[in-house]
Structures are given as C-alpha cells and as structure tokens.
Homo-oligomer: A and B are copies of this chain.
Amino acid sequence: MTTETARPEHTNYVHGYSDAEARRLGDQADTLVELLHADTAYPAGSRVLEAGCGVGAQTVHLLAASPGVLLTAADLSAESLAQARARVAEQVPAADVVWHHGDLHKLPFPDGAFDHVFLCFVLEHLPDPAAGLAALRRVLRPGGTITVIEGDHGSAFFHPDSPAARRTIDHLVRLQAAGGGDGLLGRRLHPLLTAAGFTGVAVRPRTVYADGGRPALAEGFTLRTFVAMVEAVRAEALAAGLTTPEAFDRGIADLRRAAGPDGTFHYTFFKAVAVNP
C-alpha cells in the first residue's frame, strides 16, 4: 500500500528501495489489479497523468487497460522512475510514455494539460494532501476526471484477534504520521476531493477479504502484501522506541496466524473518481 512515490524528502518513513521491496510492490499490484484497476480505462488519445508512478507497479496495468493513451508518468524519485521505465519497457513495450522526474506540487505543465489524472497510494504520503490535489486539479482540463486509490490501515481486522498485532499495525500508522503521511487516508477521500473543488465525487470501498477458503489470497495479500508492509518498519519502530523486538515480533506472528487455515483477514481500499468542473 505504500510506495516511494511522491514521498516528501524530509520523511523518515523509509522502506522500499531494495529489490525485495520492488518485488513486494509488484506482487501486491498483481494481486490487487482486478479489484482496484479493472474499471479504469481511458479512451485512446487521452492525455493522462499518473502522479507518483513509483516503480511502475500500477503503471503497467493502467497502460494495459487503456491502449493508445498518451501517458505522462511523474515521480519524485529518479531511482523509482528508472525502475518504472524498465518495467513498462518489458511489460508494455508499445506504450507511449513521457517520464517526468519532479514534485507533483510543482508540475511544469500548463493549466488543463491533461484529460485525466490518476494516482494510487500517493496522497497517504503527502503532508498536505489538499495542496497536492489543488496542484493536480490545475493541470486537469475542465470536465476531466481524477481517479484516486488509497488504503486505510484502520480497516484491517482479523481472526484470531490480537492486541499485539493491532499495536504493531498502529506503529506503522504512527511512523507514517511522524513522517507527515496518513495511513488512514482512505476514509478521508470524499471530504478531501470535495474540499479541493472536485464535483461528482464518487468513492467506493474495495474490500479484500481472505480466509481459509482462499489460501492464494491469504498468501498474496495477507502475508506478502500486508504483513510484509508492517514487518518492513521493524527497525524504524524499534529505533523510535515504539516497541521491543519481542513485542513487535509477537504482533507479526499473530498477524501471520490470520493467514492460516483457521484465520481471516479484512482490509478496505477506497477508490474515488471525481470531475474537475
């Protein structure tokens, strides 16, 4: 649910620059592509901006679903952008993409330069998501749409329930907040987009639910996406004095039980589509 994308430079919320992390983000996108992206398709010839493309985990699906779009993919990290470019070259070689290295708050494009803006797991990292939305609305033409996908870590609940596991998830939320982000942003999409002046704001929850009857989803989402994301902040949570190794590891072990044959796991993403009036 987190990417390096558009993360403000001052944040301490560090993970994701390793190969393992890039692989995790790829796994995550494949597991979730149907749930999150299947209903996003832009007409050929549309000028589309993906703001905060990160390592391109979503970019390849966007391009596959919308052949013939004129995509501009922007990211704050040159390293992520290079990975995104390589991924697209391999998976969607015919795609026509302009790669832009820069901050989404200071895009060098004229007003109304795009027909559609797409961003996925980006607002959660911004200290001021309203300012980010305002900057993106500027480059969107009147009548153009914005599509925003975000998670919400407060939507995670599971069986067996475990206070230790809940605390461990809360460490992630606190660290993200300390870095200026918001791991609970999904629930705020409607008011944020409305306040930014978008109209026709339609937000729909996209729920992932895995149980013993869906072992592949428990493996692909619960373990390899969610638990891996929480586990990735171990060193940072310890350095910040939020927890002890024993308590953190117990939380992770309890979370893993939710992916077992008797366990269940629930998580909600939110997908919003709105219009620039």
How many copies of this chain are found per oligomer?
Answer: 2
At the interface, yes or no: A204 with Cβ under 8 Å from chain B? yes
A7 to chain B, nearest CB (A): 23
Interface residues on A, range: 20 to 34
Given A187-B266, A191-B159: A213 touches B209 (CB 8 Å cut-off) = no
Contact among B154, B191, B205, B262 for A209, CB-based, below 8 A: B205
A99 at the interface (CB under 8 A from B): no
Q: CB distance A264 to B188 under 8 Å?
A: yes
CB-CB contacts of A103-135 with B at 8 A, as 1s and 0s? 000000000000000000000000000000000
A194 to B264, CA, bound (A): 12
Tell me whether A202 is interfacial, beta carbon within 8 Å: yes
Q: Report the Cα distance A187→B159, complex, angstroms.
A: 6
CB distance from A122 to the nearest CB of B (A): 19
Q: A205-B209, A213-B201 are in contact. Are A264 and B161 (CB under 8 A)?
A: no
User: Which residues of chain B have C-beta atoms less than 8 A from A244's C-beta?
Assistant: none
**Partner pick for A262 among B191, B205, B207, CB 8 A cutoff:** B191
A212 to B195: give the CA distance in the assembly, Å.
11
A190 to chain B: which residues have CB within 8 Å?
211-213, 264
- Whole-angstrom CA separation of A202 from B264 in the bound complex: 12
Complexed CA–CA distance, A76 and B155 (Å): 35
Q: With contacts A152-B157, A157-B152, A161-B154 known, is A264 near B211, CB below 8 A? A: no
